[in-house]
Structure 1
Amino acid sequence: MRRAVLRAVIGNAALRRIAAGFAIFTMAEHATWIAVLVFAYGRGGTTEAGVIALVMLVPAAVLAPFAATAGDRFPRRRVLVAAYGIQAMTMLAAAAALLSGASALVIYALVAAASASIVLTRPVQGALLPHVVRHPDELTAANVVAGTIEGVAILVGPAIAGIVLATANPGTVFLLFGVLLAGSALLMIGLRVEPGPVGIALDEPVASAALDGIRTLRSEAGPRLVVAVVASAWILWGTVDVLSVMLAIDLLKIGEGGAGFLVSAIGAGGLIGSVGGLALVGRRRLAAPLLAGVVLWGLPLAGIGIAPEAAVAFAFVAVAGAGRALLDAAGRTLLQRVSTDDVLARILGALEGLQMAALALGSIAAPVLVLVLGPQGALIVAGLIMPTIAALAWRGLRAIDTGVVVPDERLDAIRSVPMFAPLAPAVVERLAAGATAWTASAGTAIITEGEAGDAFHLIVSGTVEVTIGGRVVRTEGPGDYFGEIALVRDIPRTATIVATTDVELLSIARDPFLAALTGHRASRTAAEAITTSRFAEPGPGS
């Protein structure tokens, strides 16, 4: 099954196009980050590198939740085109400043703008992925493939930066990747995908819409814990970015380009982690691999602090990269599965903002750790952060796993309903997980004509009798469903449904039912067609 799922993902033209654009984006993100840190380090050492990292990341952290509202307000494909286009323009402007010898203030302002423009890509892409796959297992596979691509990009991007920095200057790095990102924008123009839900009215203020994502995280423990764990990994990422420059130049004596090659080794490890991540395909429980990735991301860096030798450093950062790839694939898949689709882009935007804030915190903490503990002590303490977080999060993540695991037969039953068939796999999985399985004894009135509708019902086994005004109009059995008319049209029940045998049912409450249908154009159209045809039949059934 795993091979079949991977073939389906690789054969998906929309996914291939998204992956190509994302590969360029990831290379650009990491290569230009190394370039600006080398520029800052050359001017003022670890302190200026850390401060500039903070200056670049704080605007990005603040902007991310607000920018991500575009992904729930407009078609996500168009937002992705705009994101790549803006990134290309800001990076080319930064390149012009660096190459022309502009003042440091101008250069840092432009690279901060380029950094801020990056925050839109991951939330929108993460919200788009569930709409281009056909099964929950394909969503896991798509995230694993994205992790593999990111690993390659983190390997190649900083390596390119290292080569360019050894022969030219940081401005050339920005110029190269600004041009490439323009290509990513062109790729997204040709993307064909069903628009995501319109979770935000066009006249709703951006600030209010952004706060909906934050309010969701405050009220829902599952998404909140996953976001906290995934975002915390970026504290270490920020520390590593700054310490890698210090490690390459001062401890390992491998020169400025060595910082790029160290980060490339993380990308190489990410490839290894992505291969291991293939084991996640078909696996519904993701807490254990997520936490294993968290631990592996941290501990090897503590090992470098104990033995700061070049060979050891490159090997250990590769292991850390494998852990990071594993935690990212498992964490993002779990978050997509536990978050509602109409607010998913904003939740991912909040995650992006927290990641930027965590990156800033790690970047500014690095010089403090070096000052207080020395280079080796700083690496040891930084490396122990993630195992501590894993220990604290273990119990909560196991509880989330239990809540999202849905038997295949229940998924298939929900998917068999025509109005649910067009929905993204993660949406179907949430509907199935939230559905109530129960048995109505023979003679039970499951719904009564004239009452308010509170749920949709799907028959798993047994038979029911449909009556209107006391007249029997038909019987229904396994695979049939009822209750949608009162919900879709907001009217009282149009029929009475009585169990003629013991009947096993799956029932979906009004709010999640309507949220799933009204947020998806094809499903909403299918539901309207079904209710219209039922009214045309003798005696509608719900």
Structure 2
Amino acid sequence: MYAYHHGGATSVGVFVAVRLGIAATVAPFAAAFADRFARERVMLFSDLARVAACVLAGLAVTSGTTPYAVYALATLTSVLGTVFRPAEAALLPVLARTPEELTAANVVSSTFDSVGSFVGPAIAGILLGFTGVAEVLFVVAATFAWSAFFVARIHPQAATDPEAEDESEERFGGLAGGVRAIAAEPRLRLLMSLYGAQCLVAGALGVLVLVLALGVLDLGNGGVGLLEAASGIGSVVGAGVALTLVGRKRLGGDFLVGLVLWGAPLALIGAAPSTVVAVIALGLVGVGNTLVDISAITLLQRTIPAEVAARVFGVLESVTIGSLALGALAVPLLVDALGARGALLGTGALLPVLAALSWRRVSAIDEGSRIPVELLAAVDAVPFLAVLPEQSRELLASRLARVDLNEGDVLFRRGDAGDRFYMVFEGSLSVELADGDKHVGAPGFVGEIALLRDVARTATVRAETAASLWTLERGLFLDTVGGHGATSRSAEAFVLSRLGTVPVS
């Protein structure tokens, strides 16, 4: 609004292009701070800095200074925001205790985004009717302050191990770590590509709505609002649909269905343009938008290495902004070449075709992300493993191997090399010590001292009854425990306790 009154449509176009271009360029680099520092503190800094930028922009409008100062502060606000979403996306898996909690948290986040996407502009429009641009900027500053109030209350239990941070820097290479992580992981490349394609169509839709309302359906300016409202309402409905699907644990399938819902309704509008068809179809697009956002982000959170998560989401932020811009730029070319209906048909066909071509590979990601409940329960039954982030617990659970013992079988002998960690889930074990035998039943565990202290087994362990155990290989156990500060300290405290009383190795 401010840009339009100080330079017309050209000013708006240049301002938006510059702002998005700078934000897309900065996003991957800004996100590196969320991997290097506490993510909740990075989010708090982003909020507070945006409070200051919005207040200064409001004061600049009030004082009547050059519009370029206002444009610069508005652009700065966007740049400061590029670090918030990657930090939030990387922090959620640390806070969530189960896959269902993570998906539900993403549902809530997406719902707020969907509601805000049309409620926010509506509130701004009402305020502009009674006040001015400066007052709206002050209200926006207040919303960032409100966000900061809640972010300041976040205190994750997980702590970062300095040695693990150093290993992460060696592995992922600083600011370029997000790009390297994506290049090294086929699943990330697939998800990023499909999400980028969806954003390309989203950018095109922003312009196609205008073409449809004003050109094809001849609904006038009010028709633009009607079609956008249909999509916004569909997004809220989609959040409810996604919430009912949490228990299915089929995120890959939901993601692909969302892609189809994003594209097929646009093709339907192109084939049979009418107001009723357009309203219903764009409502379905809104449902698809929410399904894609929730399922894609959750799949990424469960696929990205925790130590580079924010940088990967920073790359995603850049891909999102860039794809939106390219989609918007492509529409005039498509309309000139194919006509308005042809542009709708072509744009709408893209995502269903990509979904069909990638169905098998995305389904494989989905299969890999589902861990049996009993395996996760076995990991959670070990006190020092239960404090790990969700991705780490799922990784351990996916690598568990089963061992069955008959009564009297020896699991390992005193003096043996420590090669595995064992978790008992059926039966009981006898631990033979110099001061007498001890018993470990289900749920219990043995074998951690030899691994954590890098010593030989300090006791002989045999099956007191027929027993079944889950086992973890030495390297994975040590990498996981040693790479997480809270887990490492908890394990060390547990070892000291056992060495002082019952030295089970």
TM-score (norm 1): 0.80
User: What's the secondary structure of 1:541's corresponding residue?
Assistant: coil
Residue in 2 that maps onto 1:533 = 497
Q: Distance in 2 between matches of 1:237 and 1:164?
A: 28
Determine the C-alpha separation between the residues in 2 that align with 1:224 and 1:214.
10
Deviation at 1:323?
A: 0.8
Q: Is the 8 A contact 1:53 1:364 kept in 2?
A: no
CA distance in 2, matches of 1:510, 1:346: 29
Partner of 1:43: 9
In the TM superposition, residue 363 of structure 1 has moved relative to its aligned partner by 2.7
Q: CA deviation at 1:448?
A: 5.5
Q: 1:229 to 1:453 in 2, by over 3 A?
A: farther
- Aligned twin of 1:84: 47
1:38 and 1:275 map into 2 onto residues whose CA distance is: 37
1:221 corresponds in structure 2 to: 186
Deviates more, 1:96-105 or 1:356-365: 96-105
* Among candidates 169, 194, 201, match of residue 157 of structure 2: 194
Structure 1 match to 2:232: 267
Structure 2 distance, partners of 1:126, 1:484, is: 33
**Residue matched to 1:124:** 87
Q: Does 1:461 align with 2:426?
A: yes
RMSD (CA atoms):
3.7
How far, CA to CA, are the matches of 1:41 and 1:288 in structure 2? 47
Compare 197-206 and 382-391 and name the one that shifted more: 197-206
Report the secondary structure of 2:302's partner residue.
Answer: helix
Q: Which residue of 2 aligns with 1:183?
A: 146
Which of 448, 452, 461 pairs up with 1:484? 448
SS in 2 for 1:384: helix
What code does the residue aligned with 2:9 have? R
Residue of structure 2 in register with 1:318 after alignment:
283
State the distance in 2 between where 1:372 and 1:98 align: 42
Q: Which moved more, 1:205-214 or 1:230-239?
A: 205-214
Give, as a single letter, the amino acid of the residue that structure 2 aligns with 1:236.
Answer: V
Q: Per-residue displacement from partner, 1:159-179 (whole Å, max 9, x unpaired)?
A: 335556778887765554233
After superposing the two structures, state which structure 1 stretch, 483-492 or 529-538, moved more: 483-492
2:354 is aligned with 1:389: yes
Matches within 5 A, 1:83-122: 83-93=46-56, 108-122=71-85
Correspondence 1:347 to 2:312: yes
CA offsets per residue over residues 243-279 of structure 1, 9 Å max, x none?
Answer: 3345455555566676565434322111111111122
Distance 1:207 1:287, change over 3 A: closer
CA displacement at 1:150 relative to structure 2: 2.2
Aligned-residue sequence identity (percent) comes to: 37
**Residues 1:61 and 2:27 are matched in the alignment:** no
Match of 1:378 among 329, 343, 361: 343
Q: Does the 8 Å CA contact 1:411/1:432 hold for their aligned counterparts?
A: yes
Instruction: Give 1:406's aligned residue.
Output: 371
Specify the code of the residue in structure 1 equivalent to 2:251: L
Aligned residues: 503
**Aligned CA distance change for structure 1 residues 453 and 389 (closer, same or farther; 3 Å):** farther
Aligned CA distance change for structure 1 residues 311 and 37 (closer, same or farther; 3 Å) = farther
The AA in structure 2 aligned to 1:365 is A
Whole-Å Cα distance in 2 between the matches of residues 90 and 240 of structure 1? 30
Cα separation, partners in 2 of 1:202 and 1:263, compared to 1, 3 Å: farther
Do residues 433 (structure 1) and 398 (structure 2) align?
A: yes
Offset, 1:218: 2.3
Task: Show the counterpart of 1:237.
Answer: 202
- What is the rounded CA distance, in whole Å, between the counterparts of 1:388 and 1:44 in structure 2? 36
- Give 2:114's aligned amino acid: G
Whether the aligned pair in 2 keeps the contact of 1:57 and 1:359 (CA below 8 Å) is no
Gap runs ≥5 in structure 1? 1-34
Conservation of the 8 A alpha-carbon contact between 1:150 and 1:267 = no
| Counterpart selection for 1:287 from 234, 249, 252 | 252
Give the 3-state SS of the residue equivalent to 1:506 in structure 2.
strand
Distance 1:177 1:291 in 2: 35
Relative to the length of structure 2, the TM-score reads: 0.85
Q: Tell me by how many angstroms 1:123 deviates.
A: 1.8
Query: Residues 38 and 256 of structure 1 are in contact (CA less than 8 Å); yes or no, is this contact kept in structure 2?
Result: no
3-state SS of paired residue (1:282)? helix
Q: CA deviation digits over 1:438-473, x for unaligned, max 9?
A: 44567766456556544322122344444579x975
SS at 2:83's partner residue? helix
Q: Report the structure number with the largest CA radius of gyration.
A: 2
Deviation at 1:490, TM superposition (A): 4.1
SS at match of 1:420: helix
Q: Which moved more, 1:327-336 or 1:52-61?
A: 52-61
1:56-100 CA-partner distances (Å, limit 9, x unpaired): 333323322222223232222212111222333344555566777
TM-superposed CA distance for 1:320, in Å, is 0.5
- Tell me which amino acid in the other structure corresponds to 2:394: E
2:442 maps to amino acid: P
8 Å contact 1:280–1:330 — kept in the other structure? Answer: no
What CA deviation, in whole Å up to 9, does each residue of 1:266-296 have, x standing for no partner? Answer: 2211111111112222222222111111111
Match of 1:277 among 239, 242, 256: 242
Q: Secondary structure at the match of 1:231?
A: helix
